[in-house]
């Protein structure tokens, strides 16, 4: 008997989750895959969808996989349950000749930050799945072996870059997502999930030109690709990106500030006064999304880069910048800073001081 454990928040359960299960089962000849939805995910923010609804999405997503078992151990324990605690219990519950723990590429990269990773490595064979955009996967796998003495098997499958936060933003904005099944979408709609910002979205849609709203929406969805890896919540990335151009249609002159830059400052004020945003981290991301500045926060970097690279943008070199961003966020951000600065230099004329300082800071 071969058993594998696959855990996660599954908020929502998307097609890539299913692909990992299917490819792991095929590659390892598994007799069963035990899917364990988190009750209180230790690495997620507290606004996670209710457990029962997430379980319902998992059940719908794996309904055609007879070898899958959904285990409610975390809900039954009723607390935050680190994998290092639940894995030994599950190993006793499902005795097997070989016992595996399935991990995606992002989990492999961040394994050192888990609670008692040595215990996990001692309890199971780590069945790891590479994911596009997770850096040097082989180096991360070698680290598991060297640091924890883990027994590791690589599944011959490279997963697509699918983000639960992107799915949420797509649903939030009323678009269709190709990353979830029709049945999972039905459950989302039935329970009204991912509808936190409906009032702000409707207000924004009525306030700004349609072309700007389309750009803001695309920026919000694209920006969410980088929320998880930068330990940011879906909510803060969404608000910063969706509102970054909320004042671009308002013509105001500011002494010493070029016209194309003014809206970042007026946008931060409008986000606060008109849209009710009080989180200074979000306001700051809006305030510097065009010029950049030295020593930017992760949220500021995402907003700056997403504004530049969202799918509707079309300029020479944009695809190369997106590719760098997908491979390494920090390198992608610096590439965006340099591309912006080079573009302004080629245009001639005076460059806004913050923009110059930003480029100098990130090219020390």
Condensed to tens digits (0 to 9), the pLDDT of residues 194-250 reads 999 999 999 999 999 999 999 999 999 999 999 988 999 999 999 999 999 999 999
Which helix (H) or strand (E) segment holds residue 69: the answer is: strand 68-70
pLDDT tens per residue across span 243-288: 999 999 999 999 999 999 999 999 999 999 999 999 999 999 999 9
* Residues whose CB falls within 8 Å of the CB of residue 10, separated by 6 or more in sequence, listed in order: 17, 35, 37, 38, 54, 57, 58
Which range (80-94, 127-141, 311-325) has the least confidence?
Answer: 127-141
4 CB-near residues (< 8 Å, 6+ apart): 24, 25, 28, 30, 32, 33, 34, 99, 100, 101, 102, 127
Whole-number Å distance between alpha carbons of 133 and 23: 19
pLDDT at 159: 84
Q: What is the pLDDT of residue 46?
A: 52
CA distance 165 to 263: 27
Kindly tell me if the per-residue pLDDT of 44 is higher than 60.
no
As given in the structure block, the two tokens for residue 326 are 């997908």
Q: Mean pLDDT over all residues of the chain?
A: 95
pLDDT at residue number 32:
98
With a cut of 70, say whether residue 43 has pLDDT above it. no
pLDDT in tens, 302-350: 999 999 999 999 999 999 999 999 989 999 999 999 999 999 999 987 8
* C-alpha span between 306 and 313 (Å, rounded): 10
The residue extents of the domains of the chain are: 2-161, 196-361
Fold of 2-161: Rossmann fold (3.40.50)
Higher pLDDT: 76 or 44? It is 76
User: Whole-model pTM above 0.75?
Assistant: yes
Structural contact between residues 87 and 123, judged by C-beta atoms closer than 8 angstroms: yes
- Reference 91, options 129, 119, 66; nearest CA is 119
**How confident is the model at residue 202, as a pLDDT?**
98
Query: 23 and 100 in contact (C-beta within 8 Å)?
Result: no
What's the token pair of residue 342? 């080079």
Report the CATH number of the 196-361 domain: 1.10.3210.10
User: What does the angle CA 49 – CA 10 – CA 45 come to, to the nearest 5 degrees?
Assistant: 50
pLDDT score recorded for residue 41: 67
Q: What is the pLDDT of residue 79?
A: 79
The pLDDT assigned to 49 comes to 93
Q: What is the mean pLDDT of residues 13-20?
A: 97
User: Residue 135 above 80 pLDDT?
Assistant: no
pLDDT of 126 strictly over 80: yes
List residues bridging with 2 in a β-sheet. 98
Q: Which residues pair with 154 in a beta bridge?
A: 128
The CA angle 331-130-156, to the nearest 5 degrees, is 145
Structure tokens at 248: 């671009």
Task: In whole angstroms, give the CA distance from residue 140 to residue 110.
Answer: 9
| Distances in whole angstroms, Cα of residue 9 to Cα of each of 31, 64, 192 | 23, 21, 18
- What is the end-to-end Cα distance of the chain in Å, rounded? 56
Given this model, what pLDDT does residue 42 score?
A: 59
Q: What is the mean pLDDT of residues 144-171?
A: 94
**What integer is the mean pLDDT of 108-125?**
94
| Residue whose tokens read 């799945």 | 129
Residue count (the chain): 364
């Amino acid at each position: 008997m071969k058993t594998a454990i696959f855990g996660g928040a599954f908020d929502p359960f998307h097609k890539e989750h299913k692909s990992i299960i299917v490819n792991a089962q095929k590659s390892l000849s598994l007799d069963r895959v035990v899917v364990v939805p988190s009750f209180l995910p230790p690495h997620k923010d507290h606004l996670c969808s209710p457990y029962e609804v997430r379980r319902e999405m998992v059940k719908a997503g794996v309904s055609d996989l007879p070898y899958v078992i959904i285990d409610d151990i975390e809900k039954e324990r009723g607390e935050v349950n680190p994998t290092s605690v639940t894995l030994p219990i599950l190993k006793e519950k499902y005795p097997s000749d070989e016992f595996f723990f399935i991990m995606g590429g992002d989990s492999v990269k961040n394994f050192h930050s888990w609670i008692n990773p040595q215990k996990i490595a001692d309890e199971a064979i780590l069945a790891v799945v590479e994911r596009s955009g997770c850096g040097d996967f082989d180096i991360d796998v070698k680290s598991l072996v060297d640091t924890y003495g883990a027994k590791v098997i690589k599944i011959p499958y490279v997963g697509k870059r699918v983000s639960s936060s992107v799915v949420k933003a797509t649903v939030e904005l009323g678009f269709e997502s190709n990353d979830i099944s029709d049945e999972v979408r039905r459950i989302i709609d039935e329970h009204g999930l991912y509808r936190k910002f409906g009032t702000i979205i409707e207000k924004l849609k009525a306030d700004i030109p349609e072309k700007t709203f389309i750009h803001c929406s695309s920026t919000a969805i694209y920006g969410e690709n980088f929320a998880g890896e930068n330990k940011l919540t879906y909510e803060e990335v969404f608000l910063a990106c969706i509102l970054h151009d909320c004042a671009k249609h308002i013509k105001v002159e500011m002494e010493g500030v070029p016209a194309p830059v003014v809206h970042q400052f007026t946008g931060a004020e409008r986000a606060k006064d008109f849209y009710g945003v009080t989180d200074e981290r979000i306001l700051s991301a809006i305030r510097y999304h065009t010029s950049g500045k030295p020593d930017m926060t992760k949220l500021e970097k995402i907003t700056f880069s997403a504004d530049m690279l969202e799918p509707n943008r079309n300029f020479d070199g944009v695809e190369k910048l997106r590719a760098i961003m997908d491979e390494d966020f920090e390198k992608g951000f610096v590439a965006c800073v340099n591309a912006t600065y080079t573009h302004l230099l080629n245009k001639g004329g005076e460059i806004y001081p913050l923009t110059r300082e930003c480029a100098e800071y990130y090219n020390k």
